[in-house]
Structure 1
């Protein structure tokens, strides 16, 4: 029996620094970040979700950013489209 590529929702993992920063944000900002994350989790492919663009135009398959809170913040994430357990890895979160 061959394994098939699973679809959404995807697993999400935060680096330790991103998780610490996420926890330090106020509750309303975390809620806005959760809403943006929900869009990534349910998209057929996270790199094609709404409000998402490559972090660098020269690396369209590399890290991406997903804007939230009226573009005041964004997580920098990478999508690992593995057959078993595809995953979104949030490497950094920025909010101003």
Structure 2
């Protein structure tokens, strides 16, 4: 029997507002966001659930639920100790799972 469940890399899309925020970032912010994007789309679980599940992430990114009452809802990827972030949702559709970035910020 083969594993027919979708595997990474995941599809990723941006809301129009998040894409505009990304495009307005300085070059160093865009590079870090793109590096975080690469981590998220290749992760077995983009929500990094479990104890020490994000231990394999680079030291400059942490992932957590946006609201502790909604662990399966939107998540935030904090970048560079809070200099920026991505807010995203992982939709577990059977045929085409997808990450959607709804907010991007860089100081």
TM-score higher than 0.5 here? yes
Query: Within 1, Cα distance between the matches of 2:76 and 2:88?
Result: 6
Q: Which SS does the other structure have where 1:47 is aligned? A: coil
Matched, 1:86 2:58: no
Q: Deviations over 1:23-75 (max 9, x none)?
A: 01011110001111111011101000541100000111000001113321111
Query: Within 1, Cα distance between the matches of 2:105 and 2:13?
Result: 16
2:35 matched residue in structure 1: 35
RMSD of aligned C-alpha atoms? 1.4
Query: Within 1, Cα distance between the matches of 2:93 and 2:4?
Result: 10
Query: Within 1, Cα distance between the matches of 2:33 and 2:103?
Result: 12
Q: Which SS does the other structure have where 1:92 is aligned? A: strand
Query: Within 2, Cα distance between the matches of 1:63 and 1:36?
Result: 16
Structure 1 stretches of at least 4 aligned residues deviating more than 6 Å after TM superposition = none
Matched, 1:71 2:105: no
TM-score (norm 1): 0.91
Q: Which SS does the other structure have where 1:53 is aligned? A: strand
